[in-house]
């Protein structure tokens, strides 16, 4: 049963990827002026695959401690940051609103940090597993800001 739950938490994380991916890059994004340090497009798929997998594993590790008091809060925060994660793709790629996407990403960053802290309190390894995600979203925020400023 725990392995089935692990698969379920990973699928929940990838559901956010699927919803966000429906608004994936289009010709608008291709036409944007990008900074010289913008990663090539092929980097994003593998990076997000690893991140969504570790997010699912982290949530599962917390879920395994479901008898503990902070678990409900931790998993609620996990859900909130997943919703914000999917929404960012729609704001940026789908609706072509990089300024609004940046503001939303700042909120998402806070939600990820809060999730990481609450996960760490339940199971330290789960918190640490979210650190690469927070780092990547930090980088994505800087890139989002640069794209917004270069194309505003």
Domain boundaries, the chain: 2-32+46-150
Which 8-state DSSP code applies to residue 93?
I
Tell me the H-state helices in the chain.
2-21, 27-30, 41-63, 71-89, 98-122, 124-129, 131-150
Helix (H, G, I), strand (E, B) or coil at 31: coil
Q: What percent of the chain has pLDDT over 70?
A: 100
Q: What is the pLDDT of residues 52-104, one digit of tens each?
A: 999 999 999 999 999 877 999 999 999 999 999 999 999 999 999 999 999 99
Task: Give me 69's structure tokens.
Answer: 């008091």
Helix (H, G, I), strand (E, B) or coil at 51: helix
pLDDT at 107 over 90: yes
Distance CA 147, CA 103 (A): 13
């Amino acid at each position: 049963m725990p392995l089935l739950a692990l698969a379920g938490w990973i699928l929940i994380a990838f559901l956010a990827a699927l919803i966000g991916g429906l608004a994936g890059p289009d010709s608008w994004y291709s036409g944007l002026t990008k900074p010289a340090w913008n990663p090539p497009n092929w980097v994003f798929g593998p990076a997000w695959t690893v991140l969504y997998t570790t997010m699912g594993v982290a949530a599962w590790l917390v879920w395994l401690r479901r008898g503990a008091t902070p678990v409900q809060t931790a998993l609620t925060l996990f859900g909130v940051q997943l919703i914000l994660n999917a929404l960012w793709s729609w704001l940026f790629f789908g609706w072509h609103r990089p300024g609004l996407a940046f503001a939303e990403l700042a909120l998402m960053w806070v939600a990820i940090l809060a999730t990481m802290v609450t996960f760490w309190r339940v199971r330290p390894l789960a918190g640490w597993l979210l650190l690469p995600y927070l780092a990547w979203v930090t980088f994505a925020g800087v890139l989002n800001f640069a794209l917004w400023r270069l194309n505003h």
